[in-house]
Amino acid sequence: MKGLKALAAVALLSLTAAAPAKAQTPLTEGIQIGLSTDAVSITAGFSGADLTIFGSLENPDPLVARQGRYDVIVVLEGPPKPVVVRRKDRVLGVWVNLDSETFENVPVSYSVATTRPLQDITEPNSYKQLSLGASNLYMQPADAGDSPATIEEFTAALRERKAAAGLYSENVGGVQFLSQNLFRATVRLAPNVPVGTHKARAFLFKSGLFIKESSAQLEIRKSGFEQSIFRVAHDYSFLYGVFAISLAMVTGWLGRLVFRKD
Amino acid sequence: MGIYLPIAEISVNVFVLLAMGAAVGFLSGMFGVGGGFLITPLLIFYNIPPAIAVATGANQVIASSVSGVLSHMKRGTLDFKLGSVLLAGGVVGSTGGIYVFGLLRRLGQLDLFISLLYVVLLGTVGGLMLVESINALRATRSGAAPVLKKSGQHNWIHRLPLKMRFRASKLFVSVIPVLGLGAGIGFLSSIMGVGGGFIMVPALIYLLKVPTNVVIGTSLFQIIFTSAYTTLVHATTNQTVDVMLAFLLMAGGVAGAQYGAKAGQRLRGEQLRALLALLVLAVAIRLATDLFVTPPNLYSLSGVGLN
């Protein structure tokens, strides 16, 4: 009975699809995500937050949906930046930064939300092909001539440090289906989330096969008094320096006036 | 009460910083030093990134030096000419120091270099002061008259060419060691975030034979400008000056300094020097242990270029 219903549904779908397009092409599933805003402002006291992203499946197969064989992975990826990873070694008893490896285009942050644990959704190989998940991100070394073992060691250290700083995170079960089509993803924004253009990407899997990807952009800005200071220090650094000196001189002079003891 | 430091990009406790400023201000008032050599390591212990601790330390030193110089100007214990020559050397040394600072930062060796410089300098100065003050304490206890160096004694420094007369200091000396001393202090000021008073004062007294009463005012005078220059260059090239942090330290510092000066009058010179020496040595030992203890994380990340 169940099977018959599913068949009917498929037939109906292919009928509607056949009309405008070529025959025999069943409607493929798609995925869409929407952000309620294209910019998020965080204040100086920001201590991390959860960002909710809503999305929907297009043309889901009701049978697959009911069996829970659709999986969604949502990633919020920070702006790419070059990073230097350094390793301390002991030289004459003192810990010194000795070896280093520079990587280009490392996403500053990378938060993942998934319907199920990553290993249950699809095979490691397809994650690698999609460059999906913090452990599958390809980190491009600036000096490709280094030995693969060294590059591997520093790549692992880079991921570990990023995870320890809360910048690379994974939220298993962070994607929930609200209905057959609608899902909600919760990704973690670390307290030290970098400012800039972040990219939200959603990946749809059906029975372990990658179907489609959709993305949206999100601007993260910092706001408030402290942020104005930061901006002035970087944009008008000379004036900022003059201000810092004047402030110190005035404070010293006032301190003498207020607290003088001679 | 937490406050977010805009440049250091971390949240800190306002009262800890005010207390830190007041404590260092108290000590600097008591011992007549700028206190930069205590502020910068304390900030590093409080998890402020070393690059920011150094640049902000230089900024904070201006405030304490200004209030010190004002009182020396009133008493007339300041040699402007000597201060200006020291300053000329200071600007050159400071420029070199900022360049080395940026270079070490790019190489990832800045933190190590700052710690090493602190350990070596504080260890040496603290050790010498401790020995000297213990000898003085022993001498006074046994009743012997303290041995003072005769001002007429000359050393190799006084045989150098290009002599110049400094009236307020009653000095006729070559400008080469004065410029050199200024440059050395400028270099340290930009790399360590210190005014350099703890090196400048003994160097002026023992090497150049400047009368002790003129030394502190003159040293503070030149420190204002060297650290102002250092602050400006750090602000423009490295963007590492945190005004919020500097202001909290200054506010605590200027208040603490006055009470420290009062407390200092009750202690004898040798006792003061012995205490200061112990303090300096304690900071040096604390920094030295950090160099040898296995760090919790061998790997560290840093951006390419700035921050």
A208 domain-assigned: yes
Query: Could B6 and A44 be called an inter-chain contact, meaning their C-beta atoms sit closer than 8 Å?
Result: yes
Name the residue facing A255 among B67, B244, B301 (closest C-beta). Answer: B67
What pLDDT, on the 0 to 100 scale, is given for residue A238?
92
Confidence at residue B156, expressed as pLDDT on a 0 to 100 scale: 66
Nearest to B50 by CA among B58, A166, B289: B58
Q: Token match 């160096």: residue?
A: B149
With beta carbons less than 8 A apart as the criterion, state whether A171 and A184 touch.
Answer: no
Rounded Cα gap, residues A17 and A14, in angstroms: 5
A3 has pLDDT over 50: no
pLDDT at A246 over 90: yes
Tell me the residue range of the domain where A34 lies: 29-237
The verdict on a CB contact (< 8 Å) between A261 and B261 is yes
Q: Would you call A175 helix, strand, or coil by DSSP?
A: strand
Q: Which chain B positions have a beta carbon within 8 Å of A154's beta carbon?
A: 299
Cβ-based neighbour number of residue B142 at 10 Å = 7
Instruction: State whether A255 and B303 contact (CB < 8 Å).
Output: no
pLDDT of residue A261: 61
Q: How far apart are CA B248 and CA B22, in angstroms?
A: 10
What pLDDT was estimated at residue B162?
72
3-state secondary structure of B153: coil
B265 vs A133, B3, B114, B261, B269, CA distance in Å? 66, 36, 33, 7, 9
Q: What is the mean pLDDT of residues A47-76?
A: 85
Neighbours of B39 (CB within 10 A): 29
**Torsions phi, psi of B159, nearest 5?**
-100, 0
CA–CA distance from B123 to each of B120, B194, B277, B288 (Å)? Answer: 5, 15, 9, 9
Q: Count chain A–chain B contacts defined by CB atoms under 8 A.
A: 175
Residue B301 inside a domain? The answer is no
Q: What is the mean pLDDT of residues A117-130?
A: 84
Q: Is residue A155 part of a domain?
A: yes
pLDDT at A18: 41
Q: Do A229 and B112 lie within an 8 Å CB cutoff?
A: no
> Average pLDDT, whole number, for chain A?
81
Q: How far is B119 from chain A (nearest CA, A)?
A: 12
Contact between B85 and B168 under an 8 Å Cβ cutoff? The reply is no
Cα angle A65, A70, A75; round to 5? 140
Q: How far is CA A196 from CA A139, A144, A186, B10, in A?
A: 20, 28, 20, 19
Query: Would you place residue A66 in the very low, low, confident or very high pLDDT band (cuts 50, 70, 90)?
Result: confident
> Does B298 map to a domain?
no
Segments forming the whole domain that contains residue B270: 2-142+152-292
Nearest chain A residue to B6, by CA: A226
Q: What is the pLDDT of residues A135-192, one digit of tens each?
A: 888 888 887 777 888 888 888 888 888 888 888 888 888 888 888 888 999 888 887 7
Asked whether residue B307 is domain-assigned, the answer is: no
Residue A47 in any domain: the answer is yes
What CA–CA distance (Å, rounded) separates A97 from A94?
A: 10
Contact criterion met (CB below 8 Å) for B291 and A95: yes
Question: What mean pLDDT do residues A46-54 have?
Answer: 82
Of B59, B235, B291, the CB nearest to A237: B235
- In sequence order, what are the residues at sequence separation of 6 or more whose Cβ sits closer than 8 angstroms to the Cβ of residue A46? A191, A193, A222
Element (H or E) spanning B83, and its range? helix B80-107
Separation between Cα atoms, residue B58 and residue B207, nearest integer Å: 25
Find the CATH number of the domain harbouring A93.
Answer: 2.60.40.10
User: CA-to-CA distance for A213 and A24, rounded, in angstroms?
Assistant: 23
- How does pLDDT run across A6-41, given as a tens digit for each residue? 443 333 333 344 444 444 556 788 888 888 777 888
Residue owning tokens 């402290």: A226
Percentage of residues of chain A with pLDDT beyond 90: 8
**Quick check: helix, strand or coil at residue A149?**
helix
Report the alpha-carbon distance of residue B216 to residue B63 in Å, rounded.
16
The Cα–Cα gap between B3 and B18 comes to 12
Is position A177 within any domain? yes
- Strands A209-222 and A196-206 turn out to be antiparallel
Poorest-pLDDT segment among A116-120, A130-134, B37-41, B72-76: B72-76
Q: What is the pLDDT at residue A250? A: 93
pLDDT interval class at A128 (50, 70, 90)? confident
Domain assignment of residue A246, yes or no:
no
Amino acid at B164: M
Structure confidence by residue, pLDDT tens digits, A226-238? 778 888 888 898 9
Tokens linked to B295: 């760090």
**What total number of domains does chain A contain?**
1
Complex confidence, ipTM: 0.81
How buried is A93 (Cβ within 10 angstroms: 0-12 exposed, 13-18 middle, 19+ buried)? exposed
Whose tokens are 């300094």? That residue is B257
Contact assignment for A161 to B299 by CB distance below 8 Å: yes
CB A238 within 8 A of CB B235: yes
Residue B89: CA count within 13 A, CB half-sphere: 19
Q: How far does the CA of residue A209 sit from the closest CA of chain B (Å)? A: 36
pLDDT of residue A7: 40
Binned average pLDDT, 10 residues per bin, chain B of 307 residues: 78 88 83 77 86 88 84 79 88 89 83 86 87 84 57 61 73 82 87 78 79 79 87 87 91 82 73 82 87 80 56
Are the C-beta atoms of B193 and B238 separated by less than 8 Å?
no
Q: Has residue A3 been placed in a domain?
A: no
**Which chain B positions have a beta carbon within 8 Å of A44's beta carbon?**
4, 6
What's the total number of domains in chain B?
A: 1
Per-residue pLDDT, A16: 41
Burial label, B96 (beta-carbon count in 10 A; 0-12, 13-18, 19+):
middle
Instruction: Kindly determine whether residue A226 and residue B239, on different chains, have CB atoms separated by under 8 Å.
Output: no
